[in-house]
Amino acid sequence: MRAFTSKVCEISSQKAYRESLSVITNYQIRNKDTVDIQQPIDIVVLWVNGDDPEWIRLRNQYLTDIELREYATGNCRFRDWGTLRYWFRGIERFAPWARSVYFVTWGHIPTWLNLKHPKLRVVRHEEFMPAEYLPTFNSNAIELNLHRIEGLSETFVLFNDDTFLIRETHPEDFFMNGLPRDEMVEMRIIPTGKRIIDYTVFNNISIINRHFDKRKVVLRKPTNMFNAVYGKHLVRTLSCMLSPVFLGFRNDHLPASHLKSVFRRVWESESAVLDRTSRNRFRTTSDINHWLMRYWNTCESSFIPRSPHFGSTFSMPNDIDRACRYITHQSGKCVCVNDSITDMDVGSLSPLILKAFEAILPGTGEFELDYAQEVASSRGAMFHGGSVLRIGVSE
């Protein structure tokens, strides 16, 4: 182990940093005109209207665990900040290269959404998830089954509805030569008992350590982990090098680049675990999530390193001012406005966020109906009704 650590530290010297940066820079220049632009990239986003009485009734019908109820029914899990319009405007303005936008929903359709937009594909849970997993109120379960959506490209980018594009992007920001852009920064993950997500990440890492030998992964391609583009985060990785197993990976709550084929491989290798999470109607401490697919992909060395400065995450309400400045200054290419506290005055905070988005994304977008059309569509398209495009289920 000492020899291994010594070798890793040698790789992570300042000279190696400069060399690795040169490798990545030259790779990008050399391949700038050869990126596989024929490979279509789709975008997927999950959304729910947490104010729908019918949906609330169905959710409460399955909520029998008192402790689970407090977490699963917290306002921060489902409340609407009114920002979805800006999510679509961001895709239209800053990712025109996207082939299709898959809008995954329980059945809710915003009254203003232009269902006739040629890129829009509305997908209800029952149209791609096996019946035994439904109904579900667990985003982890939904995300683990996205590869079943009929017609979805091999290369797709997964968004949550609190992650937004705020500056021009290019296909190679997410994929290069068919490989996802991602980061591989190791860090210690210790469940504190306060957040379910900590347990989820811990469960993901446990699976990774069953299938991958850390030493072999690191030595196969050292610049995947020790790369100058990671900047100060390299210290996190170095602090974990004495451990013979992976202790965890850094996770930004930002859009994730995925390959459908990796989803299938993970399902083949860990079908029992994924099936168990898919059957959990609400998030639990036994869950895994789609980050497992990211980890799997990086451990297979099937990705291209990307700078963590690609985007940033802000937790409400403490980061409200920083988030607004980040958005209006377009300091990164994407941003997450994370609703993390149940007891919060969203009524006073959401106008600040909306104003920031309006500053960079003014006017009605092509994914939105004008006011007259919106009034007409609201009569039938709010819940379950209206001319919702149906997408079939892949076996």
Q: pLDDT grade, residue 376 (50/70/90)?
A: low
In the chain, what are the domains? 39-183+250-377 (3.90.550.10)
CA dist 109 and 387 (Å) reads 10
The predicted model scores a pTM of 0.86
* Confidence check: pLDDT of 339 > 90: no
The two three-digit tokens of residue 348, written as one number:
């006073």
- 149 secondary structure, DSSP code: B
The two three-digit tokens of residue 143, written as one number:
């995300």
Q: Closest Cα to residue 90, out of 386, 391, 378, 337?
A: 337
Which stretch of DSSP H or E encloses residue 156? strand 155-160
Task: Write down the mean pLDDT value for the chain.
Answer: 85
CA dist 194 and 166 (Å) reads 32
pLDDT, mean of residues 245-266 = 96
Q: Hey, which of 48-52, 56-60, 361-365 has the most confident mean pLDDT?
A: 361-365
CA dist 156 and 263 (Å) reads 12
CA dist 25 and 22 (Å) reads 5
Q: How far is CA 390 from the centre of its chain?
A: 24
Phi-psi region of 386 (alpha: psi -120 to 50; beta: other; left: phi over 0): left
Helices (H), 73-116: 75-78, 84-94
Query: Which of 44-48, 166-170, 191-195, 372-376 shows the lowest per-residue confidence on average (mean pLDDT)?
Result: 372-376
pLDDT, mean of residues 65-70 = 56
pLDDT, mean of residues 255-274 = 98
Order of strands, sheet of 163-165, starting from the edge strand that comes earlier in the sequence: 163-165, 334-339, 311-316
pLDDT, mean of residues 197-220 = 96
Query: Do the beta carbons of residue 350 and residue 82 sit within 8 Å?
Result: yes
Percentages of the chain per state (helix, strand, coil), in multiples of 5: 45, 15, 40
Residue 28: what pLDDT? 42
Residue 78: what pLDDT? 57
